[in-house]
Chains A and B, each alone.
Chain A
C-alpha cells in the first residue's frame, strides 16, 4: 500500500506524461503480481463500489480526531475534499505498516461490504491508525468509491509495455473486456506470446480529441472525411467462432441488452469486428438520446419498448476482417471494406453505414455542421484520410467537432427576475452541481434556452418553492434539473466551484431526472483541458 500511495503521489504531483510513465514503470517493476493487478485495475479507472459513504467517514474521523462538526466544516472548507480532510485531521498514526495493496483490498476493503456498521467503524479506525496521510487518502478514496488519478489508460499501457516488453497495442487489447484483478491476470498481461486472444475481446476504442481551434488549422479539407457525431452509445460488434459480442466503450458486455444487434451478428462473416454507435432509430431517423435512456434503465425489455425504441448500429469502421486485425490499414481501405460489408448484409433497419458529410471547403463544412442538431447529431467527426485505427485517444487524426462541446445536468438552486419585457418573471437562473461533500455548489448562471411556456412553469415553481432571499436573488428548493451547454470550461479562483464556464445556456429541461442525478463537480473537473 505504501508503494501504491507513493505512486499515487508521484502521478498526482506531475503533469508531465514522461514522468508519469516513469513513475508507473518504477512501480510495476517492483510490484508483486497480486498488487500490480489491483493497481492496474484502479489506475485505469475501474473502482470498487462505495463501501462506506463519505458522510460516515467524516463522522468517524471527526470523532477519532476529537474535532467538533463545525471545525470539521472549517477544515473541509480549506481542503475541499472529504477523503483528504479526513486523512489530514486524524491523529498521527501510532504504528506504521507496509501491508501489500492486495491485502488491503481483498482482506480489508472487500469484506467490509457485508459488514455491519459497527464492524466497519472499527475496521476504519484500525486501518487509519497504521497509515500515513497519503495512504489514508488513497484508502479513503477507495473506500468511498471516489478513487481517481490523473493518468490515462494509455500511459498505464505504455508503462506495462515497457516493463514486460510486450507491444503496447497488445497490452491495451488484453486490458479490454471482462477480467478479474488476479495475479494470473497480471501474468497474462505480461505474456510475450500474443496468441492468447479470448475470442470475445474487443479492441481498444480509437478516441477523438475535441477540436479547439478553427478547422482550417487541420490543413486541406481534402485530407479529411467528415461524418456526423451521433449521440448514442459507442460500441464494437464482434463476430468470432460463431459467437456475437457487443461491447460498449465503457467495456460493458451488452449483447443481451440489444437483441436487434445480437441477431445481426449472424449476418456478419466469421472474424469481423465493427466499430459503431448504437442509436435509437425509428422510421429512418434517430430518436433523442432520452429515448435510449428509457431502454437502458429497464431490467427486462418488453415488446412495447422494443417496438417504441428500436436500435440500429451506425457503422463507423471495420477493424477486424476475415479474422485479421486490420487497424493499421489506411482509413479509406477500411471504410470501403466496411461499405461493401454493410451492403452485402443489407439490413438497413439494423446496420447503417455512417453517412459522410460532403463539403469542398471548411466554410461549407462549418455550415453543414450547423445542421447537426436537426439530425440529432452532436456535431461532426473529422477523420484524417490514410490514418490507422489508433489505440486510445491519440492526438491528430480523429477530431470531434461538436456543436456544443460541453453539457452538464445541473440543478436549479436560485433565480432572479429578468429585465425588459420579462421583468416580472424569474428568468435568470443559477444552476448547481454536487461537490465532493455532497453539497450543491453553483456552477453557472444562464438566461436563455427555455421556451416561453417553460419559463412560465419555472416561474411558478420559483414562487412556490422560495427558500431564502438575498437582495433580488431567491434561492429555491433544489428540485428541477436542466441540461446546460457551454462553450468552454476552465479553472477559476473566483468561483466557489473552482470552475468557470463560458457561454452557458440551457439546452433542455430534464423532467426525467431527479436532482440526485445531476452531475458532480468531480465529473466537471474531468472535462478540464489537460486533466
Chain B
C-alpha cells in the first residue's frame, strides 16, 4: 500500500485517514461505513454507522436497538470529515452497498460483497467508475460460473414437488440473512406451505418492512404438536442440519444452496440430498466484468481467491494487489457461528482459499 492511499488496512479494518472513519471494520471504531449487515462486514459496538437507507432495517436487526445508524439513499453523497462518501447498490443482499470515496480528485470504491445478476430481494449491482477498486474474490476461480437464477429456482421447485409426491418435507438450508430471502422469493407457493427457522423469520420481517415482496411464511416453531410436515418447505440456516429441531419434521430431504455446491466433492461431503448452485457473490465472469466496468487502474483484491485474481489481473496488465483484511483468516475462524454467519462459509474441508 502507498502512504497516499485513501484506505489503509489497519488492525481494526480499512481506515480512511482523511475522513477519520473505517469501512467495514472488524473491531469497534468510532465511525463505521458499512457495506452490508453480514457479521464479517458489520461489527457490533461502533460509535456510529453509516449505511444505505435500503439496508437500515436489516442492520438494525443485527446491531440492536441502541446502535446509532445514519442512513443515506443510494447515490446520495454525504461529507464525512472532508471526504465525499456515497453508497451504490452491490446486489448482494438487501441494502448491500459499494462505498465510493472521493477526496481531492481521487476516487476509491470498496465493493463489499457483490453479485451482478439482479434478484428480487435487493437493488441490482451498479458499476461505479473509480481509480482504485477494492473487490472481493470469494469465488475467484474460472470454475465458478453461475447458472441462471431462474434455472436454479426451477430445480428447487421441482425438487420440492418430487419430495411432496414422496410424502417428504423439504428442508432447504441457506444463510439466514440474504440467501434465505432470495430463495423464498423464488419458491412457488402453490406447491405447499412454507415454514422458516426463527433466525430466518426475524429477517423476513425486516425485508417485508423494507418493501420486499416475499411469499407467505410461518415460523416453524409456532406449529402445533403432531403436525404432519409432508409436502412442506422449511427454510433454515445450515447449522440446523441434524439437530433435534430438524428431526421433528419426519421424513425429510435436505438441500443446501450455495456457490460451493458447484464442486461434486463438496456436495458429497456436505451430506445433503441435493446441492443447488446459488450464490450471492459474484462468479468469475461477473468478477472480471465488474472490474473492467469500473475503469479502475488499480485493483485491490480481498476475501477469497485473492492471490489467483491478482495474478490474473497482473497478467492482463493491471496494477493489482492483495489487500489483507480479516477475511483472509476466515477459514480458521471457528468463532463465527454458522447459523449467524452471513458469508458463504467456504467448504468446511478441502480447498485453501488464499
Contacts and interface: CB of A to CB of B under 8 A. Distances in A.
Specify whether A and B are partners.
yes
A365 B273 CA distance: 43
Contact of A12 (B143, B262, B264): B264
Contacts of B341: none
B273 A89 contact: no
B105 interface: no
14 contacts: A13-B274, A71-B141, A71-B142, A71-B311, A74-B305, A74-B308, A75-B141, A78-B143, A79-B143, A81-B264, A84-B263, A88-B143, A89-B143, A498-B350
Given A14-B273, A493-B349, A75 B265 contact: no
Contacts of A71: 141-142, 308, 311-312
A169 to B, nearest CB: 29
Nearest to B350: A493
Interface string A55-72: 000000000010110110
B103 interface: no
Nearest to B274: A13
Contacts of B267: 13
A77 interface: yes
Contacts, number: 56
B220 to A, nearest CB: 24
A89 B263 contact: no
A70 B311 CA distance: 10
B25 interface: no
B241 to A, nearest CB: 15
A81 B265 contact: yes
Contacts of B264: 12, 79, 81, 84, 137
B142 A89 contact: yes
A13 B274 CA distance: 6
Nearest to A84: B264
Complex A-B, nearest 7 residue pairs according to Cβ-Cβ distance, in ascending order: A493-B349, A88-B143, A78-B351, A75-B143, A74-B308, A75-B141, A67-B142
Contacts of B142: 65, 67, 71, 75, 89
A85 interface: yes
User: Is chain A's binding surface mostly helix, strand, loop or mixed?
Assistant: helix
A80 interface: yes
Contact of B141 (A14, A78, A84, A498): A78
Nearest to B267: A13
B317 to A, nearest CB: 14
A68 B315 contact: yes
Contacts of A92: 145
Contacts of B352: 77
A80 B264 CA distance: 10
Contact of A79 (B263, B312, B315): B263
Contacts of A68: 315
B146 to A, nearest CB: 10
Contacts of B89: none
A518 B43 CA distance: 53
B275 interface: yes
B247 interface: no
A13 B265 CA distance: 10
- Highest count of chain A CB atoms <10 Å: which of B275, B308, B315, B352: B308
B27 interface: no
B268 interface: yes
Interface string B343-354: 000001111100
A15 B267 CA distance: 12
Contacts of B308: 71, 74
Contacts of A493: 348-350
B248 to A, nearest CB: 21
A242 to B, nearest CB: 51
A526 to B, nearest CB: 14
B275 A13 contact: yes
B280 to A, nearest CB: 19
Interface in A74-123: 74-75, 77-81, 84-85, 88-89, 92
A75 B143 CA distance: 6
A79 B265 contact: yes
Interface string A119-145: 000000000000000000100000000
